[in-house]
Amino acid sequence: MVNQYVVTLARPDGTADDVVAFAQQKPMALKEQVTIYTDESKEHVLCTFEADQVLDIGAVYAVRDGAGNPIGSFREKPVTSMLRSTWIMEQPGTAELTGRERNVVVAVLRRVWDFLPFTDFVPFLWPYHFDFTEGDKRLMAFDKRFGLRDRYVLDIAAPDLDRRLAIAQAVALDALQSR
């Protein structure tokens, strides 16, 4: 079983438009590495992200363009994430963005849910959302939508944020946190 991610632009009415990225996560990889392509043909690489170590805890994920040039990086803050998942996203020449689960109550409920017996077979129904901020200013949002298939909306409000880095971070939020 392989996780697949299809990233599309959204039309004004919220429906999906053209595909702008496609990724597949390899299951049971020793060291996390994901290649994101420009479309489902997998002919052209949009970007990649790869962990700097085998263990996910404290790993920094380097994001590179199709030629291997660095775009930026992201990492989870393990201690802060025990209560509320928190990520740091960095792009050279711009401010560091901090991404946190928007609703602390939902974050705590998700953690309690994981400890209950037999919940592996019953999905956690409340959607999670992340806000990426610089100080108090929200520059990117990641929202999960209800549906038969997992659907997310990525809203990039920062004009200087590389879209490839934002897409890589969005894929990682699902892939690395087993949502």
Which of left, alpha, beta for 142 (phi over 0: left; psi -120 to 50: alpha)?
A: beta
User: What's the length of the chain?
Assistant: 179
The pLDDT value recorded for residue 43 is 95
Task: Tell me the pLDDT tens digit for each residue of 8-65.
Answer: 877 777 677 788 899 987 776 677 889 999 999 999 999 999 999 887 778 999 999 9
The pLDDT value recorded for residue 178 is 59
User: What distance in Å separates the CA atoms of residue 14 and residue 92, rounded to the nearest whole number?
Assistant: 32
Torsion of CA 124, 13, 168, 148, to 10 degrees: 30
User: What distance in Å separates the CA atoms of residue 173 and residue 179, rounded to the nearest whole number?
Assistant: 8
- For residues 170-175, give the mean pLDDT: 88
With beta carbons less than 8 A apart as the criterion, state whether 92 and 70 touch: yes
With beta carbons less than 8 A apart as the criterion, state whether 26 and 42 touch: no
Q: Whole-structure pTM over 0.95, yes or no?
A: no
Residue matched to tokens 């792009």 = 91
The pLDDT value recorded for residue 134 is 95
